[in-house]
A = this chain, B = another copy of it.
């Protein structure tokens, strides 16, 4: 078996059988098997392409060479206590990156252009524009400068926003003021009107978006207070701290695509909160076609002696 596919059907495009078809088209002549549907000899499995496989499953394949995590976030996978010591590749397709940047750009623009206020004016039939400044008056701060964060930062800057970025280790991106590490966090937050969280979820980043951090954001900007956009992982923000910060004005608003519990429970206060925009974890839907092409290309390159791309560093958790 060349490749074992272990996924759950989260949509029609994500049914296991469709993954097999797509991957078989791109890896002609190989055996592609589905877990748990197909009977396979565990020792024959060289690669596994998986999304949130049950803990322990990967350890049952003694000749496993590479695990492909079928999404950008590997936080679920890394919680497997018996995760075998083989390379883990995560999805980093242009398709996924571009979609995330669409989301970040749209919501930053909606905040900047006061679209919720204008929607309210329309509902009331009021022609009452407020002062509107240009994008260069708004300081956007992107937390997390991996492939996705760097692309979002660049596109925000092209539209004219005043963009900075923060990352754990130092980065350099043309046109973006880059801050790094513990020492860089306070100055980064102090110049940020709209905070965009695109961090991986790791033991270090869990709960990083808390009251203390919100209190360090800029309060001298054009919006009258800071905003949070979390399109990374729900575990990054502390829900009760977001609510408290919105209620006491530490945050002016929040746009959340990810939550501690998904789907967001019907009784959750975020749903009806006037300062919160809830989206159903669809900032960057995974395109199964693009991911299949990506996995197949990496297998072909690996077998030709080439290096695997976008390997996960387990020490850092992403």
Q: Which of B128, B134, B278 contacts A280 (CB 8 A)?
A: B128
Q: Which residue of B lies closest to A273 (CB)?
A: B122
**A28 interface contact, C-beta 8 A:** no
A136: chain B residues within 8 A (beta carbon) = 98
Complex-state Cα separation, A132 to B285, whole angstroms:
7
Q: Which of B129, B266, B280 contacts A129 (CB 8 A)?
A: B280
Whole-angstrom distance between the Cβ of A235 and the nearest chain B Cβ: 18
Residues of chain A in range 250-300 having any CB-CB distance to chain B below 8 Å: 262-264, 266, 271-272, 277-282, 285, 287
* Contact (Cβ within 8 A) A277 B122: yes
* Contact (Cβ within 8 A) B159 A129: no
* Contact (Cβ within 8 A) B98 A109: no
Q: Which of B122, B262, B271 contacts A125 (CB 8 A)?
A: B271
Complex-state Cα separation, A102 to B122, whole angstroms:
20
A158: chain B residues within 8 A (beta carbon) = 155, 158
* Contact (Cβ within 8 A) B127 A264: yes
Complex-state Cα separation, A101 to B136, whole angstroms:
13
Complex-state Cα separation, A264 to B126, whole angstroms:
9
Whole-angstrom distance between the Cβ of A109 and the nearest chain B Cβ: 4
Complex-state Cα separation, A282 to B131, whole angstroms:
9
* Contact (Cβ within 8 A) A106 B102: no
Whole-angstrom distance between the Cβ of A114 and the nearest chain B Cβ: 9
Complex-state Cα separation, A120 to B126, whole angstroms:
21
Q: Which residue of B lies closest to A276 (CB)?
A: B122
* Contact (Cβ within 8 A) B118 A280: yes
Q: Which of B99, B106, B112 contacts A115 (CB 8 A)?
A: B106
A118: chain B residues within 8 A (beta carbon) = 279-280, 282
**A110 interface contact, C-beta 8 A:** yes
A98, A125, A277, A285: residue with the most chain B Cβ atoms closer than 10 Å: A125
User: Given A98-B160, A118-B279, A106–B109 Cβ distance below 8 Å?
Assistant: yes
Q: Which residue of B lies closest to A122 (CB)?
A: B278
**A215 interface contact, C-beta 8 A:** no
Q: Which residue of B lies closest to A112 (CB)?
A: B102
Q: What mask results when residues 18 to 55 of chain A are scored 1 for a CB within 8 Å of chain B, else 0?
A: 00000000000000000000000000000000000000
**A135 interface contact, C-beta 8 A:** yes
Whole-angstrom distance between the Cβ of A148 and the nearest chain B Cβ: 14
A106: chain B residues within 8 A (beta carbon) = 106, 109-110, 113, 115
A180: chain B residues within 8 A (beta carbon) = none
User: Given A102-B109, A134-B98, A135-B102, A129–B271 Cβ distance below 8 Å?
Assistant: no
Q: What are 13 A-B contacts with C-beta separation under 8 Å?
A: A95-B134, A101-B159, A102-B135, A102-B159, A106-B109, A106-B110, A110-B110, A127-B280, A129-B279, A129-B285, A131-B285, A155-B158, A155-B159
- Identify the 5 closest CB pairs spanning chains A and B, nearest first: A127-B263, A106-B109, A129-B282, A129-B280, A125-B271
Known: A106-B109, A110-B110, A122-B278. 4 other contacts (CB 8 A): A98-B135, A98-B160, A127-B262, A129-B279
